A and B are shown apart, each in its own frame.
Chain A
Amino acid sequence: MFRLAAIAFFGFSSISQATLPKAFLAEHCHQCHGPNKQKADRRFDTLATSIENFEQQELWQDIVDQLNLGEMPPKDKPQPSQTERLDAIKALTNGITTSREKFKGVSQHTTLRRLNKVEYRRTIGDLLGLDVKAWDPSEDFPSEVTHQGFDNNGDQLVTSGLLLKKYLSAAEAAIQRSTHFEEKPESKNYNQKSPFYFQGKESKNLPKLFLTGRFRFVPETPYTDLYGRHYRGGHLGFLPLYKQGGVPHSGQYTIRVRAAAVNRTHTYPNGIITSRNGDPLVLELASVDRRGSVTSAGNVRKMVSLSTHELTETEPKWIEWTGYIEKGYEPEVRFRNGTISAKNLVFKLGRLAQNRPEIKPFLHLKPGNERGHGMLRAYQGPKLRIWEIQVEGPHLSSWPPEGHQLLYNDLTPPDLNKKTIHERLTHFAQKAFRRPPTKGEIKPILALVSGKIDSGTDPLKALQLGFQTILCAPGFLYLKEDEGNLNPNALASRLSYFLWSSMPDDELLQLARSKTLNQPEILRAQVDRMLAHPKAKRFVGNFIRVWLELDNIGRMPPSPDFRNYYRDDLGNAMRIETEHFFSHLLDQNLPLEEFLTANFSFLNRELAKHYGISGIEGTHFRKVTLPNSTRGGILGHGSFLTASANGVDTSPVIRGIYVMDKLLDYTPPPPPDEVPEIEPDVRGAITLRQQLIKHRADPSCAQCHDKFDPAGFALENYDAIGAWRDRYPDKLPVDASGKLDNGKTFDNASNFRQLLATQEKPFTRCLTKKLLTYALGRELNSNDRPTIDFICEEMAQPKKGLQDLIQSIITSETFLKN
């Protein structure tokens, strides 16, 4: 590629120097970027004739980019002739090419990069063989600093006393959890038949969940019915395990529930029951941590959803699930998609079902047990009916667990002395640091432990202090990449943190040791292996989260006024849709344009209904061909549309900028200080779009806004949670038409999508840059251009897909060096 530039250079031999085109700049640029004005904080009149330092190289790159795109001079100003423009571009480009040699490597080093929250959690999990879903070692860590949405930027990540203190606690807990000198626990059976609520003597000291109340009663039948989603009358606790303080050991357990779906279809009028008439009833199994927390119903410290099961028949059947439950957690059974709550149900029945014969007898009663119980017993709407719950476990295939083996091998506490302890610590440090520790790193830790033993500390305790120290050392917490070609261990780590968000496995480390990992065929084969591995799911989930800034949704969650968002668990569903979509494009190595144009997605019933697509049953996700043109590609994904709104309403400006930044490699400069806010005003019959158009009439505003507002307008038919709307809440019609910066017009989102489909090259470039930023853990700059250009050219060849893009990135010089 450098050769191409050189040929071009020699073809136009009138320019022999790579000097700043001063005359050109003076005529066309200094007016706004000179001594009197410095628009967008850029000033060119003080630039030297040739590039003197890296910052100047960046500025030259900036100038030539604007000239190449035709963005500058602004359209309403006098334009240079084509020759003048080309000459200037040539001079600048040559200057940059030369200076890149001089400033090779500048700003292309990832700074000593700390593991971020996600990576820390995964690494602890992988290193010690711990399930880190329920017990999350990073749970109370402060949030990371993000840079352009990315939370793994080595330069930006901060270590503080607060964080270090948390590392100390987390490390201590991790080692405790991994230590198992006890005998292999026996699998036990636990059983409870209905009833699940208690009163009188039996109920003493039980949490509210197990007690009868206004909406919970001891039934005369051999089953207990659940009526709604929330705690009162919607959840069942499991008494045998509550009494034991939860399951005694972490591990695999089997839960069986005998259940049925009653009155799936009902004849109650609208407005009483908030779930959909006729839907299968969903039973959810969850594990909860009730310790140290509360006495009132429902407020568990933490809940982990285990599985969901759809029931359609009135005949009871057994449903079964096997999976991991964390020590101390108890199972709960819930009516996942019931009406909002039993309390709400009774209230509504009393108000809106007064003429129903089964309800009438209770209407005169004051609110209380008699009324509540009576109505619920008589109620003929959907009920989740539970006869019996059984729990069996733990099922442990090997003992002791692999984490314990790593720490102690076959040693028992009497075997521990200074010699065996030093061996264990050195072995663990090698694993934890992802490379052999240097003498200087490990010596103080060994000295600490020896010192403790000498002063009388129990050897096991001393050893554990040593393990804890290793997990707080810089060797564990940071990725050390130095400068220049990555050494084999550093390459293995960079690769595994890219594709698995965690430490390299034995195969990678073996290849690193034999110094063959950076050989192209071996590297490619490893990438294939890693992408096919289940751990690659972490890459998909994590990359999508930072690329599309999905954490925005957590910071500004959809308003509770969007009831179905929470009822149907749409937030989760949207995230899963996008993850499945990305995974599919990856697994099938589909071309990148599918991101923009795909006529399929991955939906479950709830999400399909949200998108207005009928005929999809079941809560599982499957590939669906989208029936019409209102959805297609990532622009139609709920995740994309919700993350670009603010939880209450939409703003075309915000959405437009989001589209340009996430898909088309354009980040607009911040608004000038003097811009007044737009004040939404419902009292006039004027939409936000109409107000914006007035503001954009000013050419200096239009200059930037014309680039991104159109994308925002195109998406105005999607509300703040991505549902289609033809009208705004105040009944004004949505106008989704617009004109792109290049003059092409569109009437609606689907036209817009077609126009977008022609933007394959900018999208490829955009995704390449995002992936590269994520992979390197640093910001990209003008020195990275050659690599980015090269990868984009490769991807322009036919039949190239998402896997090829990742291979290209990993085998590039930029990835293999620091």
Chain B
Amino acid sequence: MKTNLPRRHILRGLGVSLALPGFQSLQTGFAAPKESTPPRRLLCLGNHLGFHPPSFFPKQTGTDYQTSPTLQNIDQHRKDFTVLSHLDHDVGGGHNGVEAFLSGIRKEESSGFPERNISLDQIAAEHSGSATRFPSINAGLGEGTDMCWTRTGVRIPPINNPARLFEALFVQDDGFSRKQQRQRLGEQASILDALNESAKSLHRDLNHTDRDKLDQYLTSIRDVEQRLQMSEIWLDKPKPNPGIDPITDEERQHIEELPLFFDLITLALQTDSTRIATFEIPMGFTVSDLDKVDLGYHGLSHHSKGEGKLAQLKVVEDYIFTQVNRLLNGLQEAQLLDHTLFIMGSGMSDASTHSNKDLPVLLAGGGIKHKGHLDSPHDHHRVPLCNLWLSALQWFGLKRERFGKSTGTFSKLNFS
């Protein structure tokens, strides 16, 4: 009979001193004294079909720019945001290039990069994830837009049911179900131990490339073990009181769901249920529910400069930005805006040409000194958008030198 401790015990016992990758703050999460400055948050909003560039980008640069038709909808916040032009990830692929918005790297090229195509929010989630119940909340309408990617190159499907998000955030599991959950976690942990041993014996039998593949499996085991540990710790902590009525599970139009999600995300940040949230607006966003719109969103975005379609596209983009305005108002009221970096944009600029160049990017809040319309070099010495993402991560608290395809930090904005 074996006498060595199951790995699980060893992991737990050494949790204090062992620097588990990415979860250093596991112990400090709630053993630490209440923080004197509010923690920083990250909120990312991505739209699949871009924003019509002539209507989005203002003509002048600097802080005194005249607002553009699309940005008009959030102009009341102009001191709190920066709109950036001539930034992108130097990838192509049209629709297939949109997935690189928060990572800078397309899935198909990701195996060449040490961190594959992990997205900005997931890097942030690894860093601060254990301090909150949810490392990150990734929500969206419909199928989303492939925006969030894990370290192993797996895409995170967004939560698209507001009732379920409400449940996850605010509905406490009862005592009995918690006991059951704890037991279940224990069972799963034992299974993982057995799988680890079983896989290791197979490992010896394999050739070099097959071993690398099996290593991926072994890494997955470790990954799940860490998640289980986190789940167990959070089991007994009570969930916050939302202060709003429960959201029932029923059929809603996208235009009803969107503001609901924005409210939930604001609440989630406010109650420190998470410090990282993302939201995705897909190609299938049913814009025909809006007044004066009777075509599909994808069809509209193929405007081919036709007047009729452009007019309807404007209705859609105005709607989105009106909602964003409301979101910014909400964040301000909740006194979150100064500590939340709000990133918004798309991995596509003009959907009519399927261009992934010169993406629409907007940065708001975060307590940084905003610069109105900030332009970057057009032809030579272009600045990678990943530089901006790197600066954002550093602002968030990560001590990193690189992210994606970055060549340095984004010097034109002061992020401290």
Instruction: Mark A residues whose CB is within 8 Å of B.
Output: 109, 111-112, 114, 140, 142-143, 145, 154-156, 158-165, 168, 292-299, 438-445, 447-448, 451-452, 465, 468-469, 472-475, 477-478, 480, 482-483, 555-557, 559-561, 646-649, 670-671, 677-683
Contact = CB atoms under 8 A, between A and B. Distances in A.
B251 A296 contact: yes
A64 B295 CA distance: 52
Interface stretch (B28-36, B58-66, B200-208, B232-240): B200-208
Contacts of B284: 557
B249 A679 contact: no
Contacts of B2: 447
Contacts of B227: 161, 165
B107 interface: yes
B224 A681 contact: no
Nearest to B227: A161
Given A111-B213, A299-B250, A469-B195, A647 B298 contact: yes
Contacts of A670: 92
Given A298-B251, A440-B202, A483-B207, A161 B220 contact: yes
Contacts of A299: 250-251
A465 B191 CA distance: 8
A249 to B, nearest CB: 25
B155 A142 contact: yes
Contact of B191 (A472, A478, A559, A647): A472
A292 B107 CA distance: 35
User: Which 10 residue pairs across A and B have the least CB separation, nearest first?
Assistant: A440-B201, A161-B223, A444-B197, A160-B152, A448-B194, A112-B210, A299-B251, A677-B353, A112-B213, A682-B304
A721 to B, nearest CB: 13
Given A112-B206, A472-B191, A142 B154 contact: yes
A451 B190 CA distance: 10
A400 B80 CA distance: 67
A155 B153 CA distance: 14
Nearest to B284: A557
Q: Which of A114, A159, A559 has the most CB of B within 10 A?
A: A159
Contact of B209 (A111, A477, A646): A111
Interface string B120-147: 0000000000000000000000000000
Contact of B249 (A111, A293, A557): A293
Contacts of B352: 679-680
B369 interface: no
Contacts of A168: 188, 191, 224
B86 interface: no
A710 to B, nearest CB: 22
27 contacts: A112-B206, A158-B154, A159-B217, A160-B152, A160-B153, A160-B216, A163-B154, A164-B217, A296-B251, A297-B251, A438-B205, A440-B200, A447-B194, A465-B191, A469-B194, A474-B198, A478-B217, A482-B210, A559-B296, A559-B299, A561-B296, A647-B298, A670-B92, A677-B353, A677-B354, A679-B305, A679-B352
B152 A474 contact: no
Interface in B96-123: 107, 111
A468 B154 contact: no
Contacts of A646: 95
A473 B220 CA distance: 12
B298 A474 contact: no
Contact of B299 (A159, A292, A648, A671): A648
Given A295-B248, A295-B250, A474-B214, A445 B299 contact: no
Interface string B149-186: 01011111100000000000000000000000000000
A295 B249 CA distance: 8
Given A168-B191, A681-B304, A561 B299 contact: yes
Interface in B330-346: none
A296 B207 CA distance: 56
A445 B305 contact: no
A648 B303 CA distance: 11
B375 interface: no
B329 to A, nearest CB: 30
Contacts of B219: 161
Nearest to B96: A555
Contacts of A438: 201-202, 205
Nearest to B216: A159
B220 A159 contact: yes
Contacts of B154: 142, 158, 160, 162-163
B288 interface: yes
A617 to B, nearest CB: 32
A158 B212 CA distance: 11
Contacts of B383: none
Given A164-B221, A677-B353, A473 B298 contact: no
A158 B302 contact: no
Contacts of B187: 465
A165 B219 CA distance: 13
Contacts of A483: 207
B328 interface: no
Contacts of A295: 248-250
A682 B194 contact: no
Nearest to B215: A159
Q: Which of B107, B187, B219 has the most CB of A within 10 A?
A: B187
Given A438-B205, A443-B197, A444-B194, 9 more contacts: A111-B213, A162-B152, A444-B193, A447-B2, A447-B194, A473-B199, A556-B283, A559-B298, A561-B299
B21 interface: no
A139 B266 CA distance: 30
A145 B194 contact: no
B306 interface: yes
Given A448-B193, A465-B190, A294 B353 contact: no
B299 A683 contact: no
B355 interface: yes
Given A161-B223, A161-B224, A474-B202, A683 B305 contact: yes
Contacts of A297: 251
A631 B353 CA distance: 31
B191 A145 contact: no
A671 B199 CA distance: 44
Nearest to A161: B223
B150 A162 contact: yes
A160 B213 CA distance: 11
B98 to A, nearest CB: 11
Contact of A448 (B111, B190, B217): B190
Interface string B74-95: 0000000000000000001001
A679 B301 CA distance: 12
Contact of B224 (A158, A164, A298): A164
A295 B251 CA distance: 8
Interface string B240-254: 000000001111000
Contacts of A156: 111
Contacts of B197: 443-444
Nearest to B199: A474
A398 to B, nearest CB: 31
B216 A158 contact: yes
Contacts of A114: 213
A292 B250 CA distance: 10
B201 A441 contact: yes
B249 A468 contact: no
Nearest to B221: A164
A294 B250 CA distance: 5
B141 to A, nearest CB: 15
Contacts of B157: 140, 142
Q: Which of B202, B221, B305 has the most CB of A within 10 A?
A: B202
B253 to A, nearest CB: 11
A102 to B, nearest CB: 19
A158 B196 CA distance: 18
A165 B152 CA distance: 14
A156 B155 CA distance: 15
A111 B208 CA distance: 10
Contacts of B305: 679, 681-683
B302 A649 contact: yes
